[in-house]
Structure 1
Amino acid sequence: MEIIEHTGHAESAEATHTPSPPNAIESWLTRPAAAWIILAISLALTAIAWWLSHTLSHDEAQQRFERRTDDVHRRLEQRLATYEGALRGGVALFAAQGGEVSRSQWQRYVSTLQLAERYPGIQGLGVSKLIAPPQLAAHEQAVRQEGFADYAVKPAGLRDLYTSIVYLEPFEGRNLRAFGFDMMSEATRSAAMRRAGESGQAALSGTVTLMQEDGKDVQRGFLLYVPVYRGNTVPATQEARWSALWGWVYAPFRIDDLMHGVLGAESEQMRLTLHDGDRITESSKFYGSHPSAATQAPPLSLQRPLTVAGHTWTVHYEAETTDSGFATTQSNVVAILGLCIDALLFWTIGTIARRKQQVERNALAQSTQARERTAWLDAVSDLSPNGVLVFERHDDNTFRLVFTNPAFSELFGLRPGDLTGLSEEAVDEWLDGLRGEMAPNPPLTPGDAVVQLAGPPLCILHRSSREGELHRVYYFRDVTSETEVERLKDEFLTTAAHELRTPLASVYGFSELLLRPDVPDAKREKLNQIVYRQAGVLKHLVDELLDLARLDSRGEQDFVTQEVDLRKVAETAAESSGTPENPHRIQVIGGDKPLMAKVDPAKLQQAIVNATSNAIKYSAPDAPIVLRTVLTEHEGRPFAAISVEDKGIGMSPEACERAFERFFRADPSGHILGAGLGLAILKEVITLHGGHITLTSELGVGTTITLWVPLQPEVAEATPAKPAEARAPELITS
């Protein structure tokens, strides 16, 4: 009964309910054309999504591919640079051994390199010697005497020049086939050898079939040469370099072995082919990472030049199908799912948006890294002591200046940007104008050169350069001090050798006479005296040279300082300078109060003795010498002025300027004994004591040398004397 009542109530409700009329959207959706419109919109959105997905995915694949090629390219450049470093180590071995290296020395050097573990792909490290035709027979005989009875330079025949592989380590296996081979007999090898010998730089050959190939697993190869010159230095000109060429340190490479070590896991992700030269042709190809790869054109590829040691390769990279196929697969999936449901379309767009944001974040991170790297490079450029010029290549193949660093502006007296925008020829003309009336500077061309600026002061710069595809960079390094030091060193060695040879020749010549039994006793005694006197001169010169060497190398480290009275030091020096004929010739004049200073008394006494000895040598035998000690002050500090006055021959103003140069002598005739080192030692000693020297002289009147030695701060007198020299710490000439 209850059920019947409930049912009746429901039916009554239905009977009384009136449905609401459909709204406009529902009405529109019920139309037949609405489905086509929605389909059209869906297809349009799907097409847009497919295009965006395909583009972004393809860009990502392209970026991944380019990063891989950058990595492989860099590794290949670094690997070949490492091998060049090993060759230059071999050249350094020749230099260290004075230009000749034995077979055992070369074997020990190569064994330390551990070629198999550290230099994969290299077949060995060898030495090829340049042989003139007249020397060929003697060379072959010399090598045969080392135990190689069948040795001969091959191939046989008459040629203008011969070379021979005399050393090649490891000296076993394939490398035995190359022993004695004349690489200059083959055009490709010869071109690289000549280029290395004439340029002084490493040179890479074109591709060849190596002598090491024995018919099994034959591979293409190439060779890297570094020249070795007699004299252990690289001559400045091409003609001089070829004349001084001794031979080459070289290394042969089998290309498949080398590339296997360079590519590693990358060989699974890309295909790579190497072409000899700057063009890609079938004949120029000498290596392929996938010999059996399909001939179909890859969707991702890149071609890049690689220049190593003056020789250019062209590297062609191709992506594997997994890289390029990723873009097509993903975009197709988006299209299919977009046709199925609109929700999946929106999800796909969201995915693409998120992926785009990730790409943008990656780009932003890379941009930040680039800015940081630029900041580092700017810091290096700003703090570098070397001047830098950067030229940029334009479409017309001309170079224009785009950057100079602060060091360049300082070296050449410019403001930043004064030369920016000028062509390379205009900058070259401006630089040449700084030479003044001197010979013109070398033009701005790639390579090393020496540039001189007229000054004053004269400035000598070493110029080097580097060049890439778009930029050419010049570096200017100030070598004025280095050049002057080398000049002074050469001058010093030449003069020292001359001064040593003069007494040594006398000792040697008269000693030879003393060996003769027919020399009379009276003459023998005279010869003994001459030998003894010249040996004394030689000993004195060697002692002075050793004193100078110690002062130059150790400075004041050998000083044994103590507080002493300078007047007593001067008196002792006067006694030491006296002669047996006139022991009281030197007159010592000074006050009664002590002049206390913290000095090395022995070295200061020797300095005063050098000054008095000079006065005695350049004065008449009866002329007095005055040694005067005076208390004075300079710049508020107490000083002792120790002056040596003579009435000797005196010096001209030009001689006064050079008086303290090593080996300079006021009397160029050579009648007065001495090597011209006394005043140089005197100046070094006084300078290391914190003092200085003044000199006044006049021809025919005499000379006064004053040594200014700083005293202890507490030393003072009520009214210290101030001679004229006290107000002139610099060199005074009259």
Structure 2
Amino acid sequence: MSNSFPGYLKALNKLRSSPSAWGILAFSVAITALASWVSNDRIVHTAEERFDFRAADVREVISSRMLAQESILLAGVGFMVSSAEVTRNEWDTFVRVLRQDKYAKGSQGYGYSIFVEPEEKDAIETKIREEGFPEFAIKPEGARDLYSAIVFLEPFDARNQRAFGYDMWSNPVRREAMAAARDGGEPALSGMVTLVQENGDDVQNGFLMYAPVYKNGMAVETEADRRAAILGYVYSAFRAEDLMEGILNSRNTDIDFRIYDAAMPSEENLLYSSDGIYKDIQNWRDRPQFSTVQLVTGARTWLLEFSSKSSLVSNTEQSQPYVIAIGGGIINILIFMAIWSLSRKGEEAQKLASKMTAELRLAKEVAEESRETEINLRREAQNTNKRLELANDDLTQFASIIAHDLRAPLKRIESFIHIIQDEYSENIDGEGTEILRRVRAGTIRMRDMLDALHRYTTSGGSSLQNEVTDIGALVTMAIDTLQPDIGGANVIVDLPDPLYARCDGLLLQHVLLNLIGNALKFSDKENKEVVVSCEILKDGVVQMSVADNGIGIDPEHAHKVFNMFARLHNEEEFAGTGVGLAVCKRIIGDLGTEIWINQDREIGTEILFTLPSAELDLEINDVAPLKASAV
């Protein structure tokens, strides 16, 4: 003790007499700032990756759906040319077999339209009327050089009945796509239109896709051949919002996207907007993530714009840099104040220890010079022993002062947490709130233990609150306090319920925190396991055990572990001060019981201690209530 303590105090005093304490504060603040910046940068990077993935996914599913629609139209073309004449019932059966409602959701209608020469118009109308549609007519009315007419359309619901007989060739936008499909021999997509199926309720932008049907037996090698051979079209009509809902099925809720019916965006060619807002394009593009991509489908170019929503990054992720900054700041202040306080209080003790060392050295030199002074040296040694006893009392007072002065930083931490809960609670999610609650509970618990240590060091064993105490509850609170250190460790508690003993609850909690904390520290790194158990001995004495599966203790050094400042491992391997077990031994000793190491254990370390029985006076009203701060 005389060799270790002065060096320890010298190291503490060095922090006070040099800029080391301030340097540690500056370094820890820099680390906290760096950690907060890294957290924010990671969140931004994650948001960008998430946005790119969502945008690529939307583009892919839209492209795949439109490609599938081309295949569906070509299937209809094959069905039409495979027979000399397709009846209405056969078309209905064919469409039902396609099952578009399951495999190609979002289509408003799937139909067949034919070209009609002016001289054929009356005959076609009469024929379809005789099929059971007495009001059928090619519309809109009026004389034209060439007509077209929708003759088959499924499902034949109220909306689609409005399009039955419609001349799509009469509309310039539709005619452009029909001509492109006819001349190219491939499915073609129309520009943006308002479908004739719209009835004034929930009107949406629309478009159509056409696949040409040519007359059997006629050549279709050249554009002129295809114009001469054209018979009609298998086509699909789409309402943009219904189609996108069928394609996406609400799969992308954290990005918005727009589809423009052109290579360049404008309000006039905005076909679809996922947020339902058809204006304020600049605000849309000013969001944190924004990108554009072209999609060519049905021989037509669409421009897709993607913009992030605020939900792309959760509130929990957004608050991480602030939590790191605030929590790190609190810890930095606590560390600085603790080091500064310890170094100041240790200065006087260091001076006293240095003075005693010098006196002992002088006494030894005098003894070597002459045996005649032996009597005087003995008397001086007796006086020195008395001073050592006084120094030991001073050390006890020093520990008491430390326990007293550390309560002020802890109270500041409570105040900081209270401020965070009052002023920033709206920015902290449930997990953050739980973390703050646990930090505050741990701070209050530490303050109570410091109070108990203060009473203990100032008045010795006479300050012990010897009460009937619930041991199981103390073990639970100790494990709860050590949760950050437990991590993935397997902590096994094997205690009878209930389990009572006579002791000072707060000081025993200090013992449990030290023993369980040491067991976690020295457990097997790959498979940590700590077991807390007990055995009821004769006369109700409680024998507690805390065991781990770690490196163990050499029996030759087992007697040293309870000495003040004793360490069996260097600082790089396992952090610590060498004080904890010495304090535990003193607390257990003042209870009138014992603490020892089981030297027969082959794996790991097992520390046992006994507690006085509470059997003779155990009644429900005798059990000491637990502090609210320790819950």
* Bigger helix share: 2
| TM-score, with length taken from structure 2 | 0.48
| TM-score, with length taken from structure 1 | 0.42
